Structure 1
Amino acid sequence: MCKDRSIMAALVLLLGTAACGPVPVYYRQGADVSLLQSDELGCAAQALRDAPVANQIRQHPPVFYPGRKVCSGGSCYYRPGYWADGGIYTVDVNKPLRQRLEKSCMATKGYQQIALKRCTRPNPAAVAGPQLAPLSDASCAQRNKDGSTSIRTGG
């Protein structure tokens, strides 16, 4: 039970730090934002056709917890060891290939993938404009509810 709690705590910590890190975005100065979103969606769809989701179910190896000596009131006994099952998880084996295909497709359209800091205050109205503006130290990115990304020239 304690092991499950520590795994859950580590997962929450990992997800929390991932939400604070930089946002990977495609960028080409002066490109129309609508064209960027269209190109990104088209490349993602093509990559999905070329490398479809291929989930595999896997299992971590089992773990053996050895027995221990327990002493109480002058008498001792040994608790037996036991095996704990390894966790079961799913892996999409085509995901790395799909990401490479999407990145290659976007590169042929003139975009490069960059990492921008995450915007501190979500504000859907503060998008840079109809075209991607030059980047500055104050530039940031935010993920929108629909899955798209907005690049802003101010934090």
Structure 2
Amino acid sequence: MIHGTRVTAFTLLLLGLTACGPLPVYYNAGHNQAQTQDATLSCQVQSLKQAPVANQLRQRPPVYYPGSRHCANGSCWARPGYWVDGGSYTVDVNQGLRQQLEQRCMATSGYQKIELPRCSQQQIASLQAQPNGTRPGHGLTPESCALRQKDGRTVILPAL
């Protein structure tokens, strides 16, 4: 039970740290964000056709917790060890290939993959003030940032 708690805590910590890191985005100076999103969607569909989802069921090995011996007031007793099922999970074996195909498609279309810092609350508030929730691209500046929206799209904000 302690092992499962440690794994859960580590997973939550890792997810928290990745939420703070930079966002990878595709960028082409000659295209606005709507064109970039269209190109990204087209490349994602193309890569999905070439490398469809291929889930495989995998199983973690069982974990053995050894027993323990306890003594008190001159008498001793032993608790037996026990096995815990490692559990099963699925893996999409084509995911890496699909990502490579998408990146190659985007590179062929003139896009490069870059990482931008996540937007601050002030920059997000500025984005939400826009009528349709997006801004056309104005070119990258050192203050540019990226925001992942709920629908999965990434929006690049120019400096405020």
For 1:33 and 1:73, the matched residues in 2 are separated by 75
Matches within 5 A, 1:1-155: 1-121=1-121, 122=124, 123-125=127-129, 129-130=135-136, 132-154=137-159
For 1:115 and 1:14, the matched residues in 2 are separated by 19
**Worse-superposed segment, 11-20 or 45-54:** 11-20
Q: How far apart are 1:30 and its partner, in Å? A: 2.6
For 1:7 and 1:97, the matched residues in 2 are separated by 28
Where structure 2 has 5 or more consecutive residues not aligned to the other structure, the ranges are none
User: Taking structure 1 as reference, are residues 23 and 138 closer, same or farther at Cα in structure 2, changes over 3 Å only?
Assistant: same
For 1:63 and 1:144, the matched residues in 2 are separated by 40
Q: How far apart are 1:100 and its partner, in Å? A: 0.2
For 2:97 and 2:114, the matched residues in 1 are separated by 19
For 1:91 and 1:79, the matched residues in 2 are separated by 37
Q: How far apart are 1:16 and its partner, in Å? A: 1.5
TM-score by length of structure 2 reads 0.87
Amino acid aligned to 1:105: C
Amino acid aligned to 1:101: L
For 1:143 and 1:11, the matched residues in 2 are separated by 21
For 1:120 and 1:20, the matched residues in 2 are separated by 11
Amino acid aligned to 2:27: Y
Q: After superposition, give the CA deviation of every residue in 1:86-132 in whole Å (9 maximum; x if it has no partner).
A: 121111110000000000000000001011111112233468843x3
Amino acid aligned to 1:29: A
Amino acid aligned to 2:106: M
TM-score by length of structure 1 reads 0.89
Give the 3-state SS of the residue equivalent to 1:15 in structure 2.
helix
For 1:3 and 1:149, the matched residues in 2 are separated by 36
User: Taking structure 1 as reference, are residues 124 and 44 closer, same or farther at Cα in structure 2, changes over 3 Å only?
Assistant: farther
Give the 3-state SS of the residue equivalent to 1:113 in structure 2.
strand
> How many correspondences in the alignment?
154
- Aligned alpha-carbon RMSD (Å): 1.9
Where structure 1 has 5 or more consecutive residues not aligned to the other structure, the ranges are none
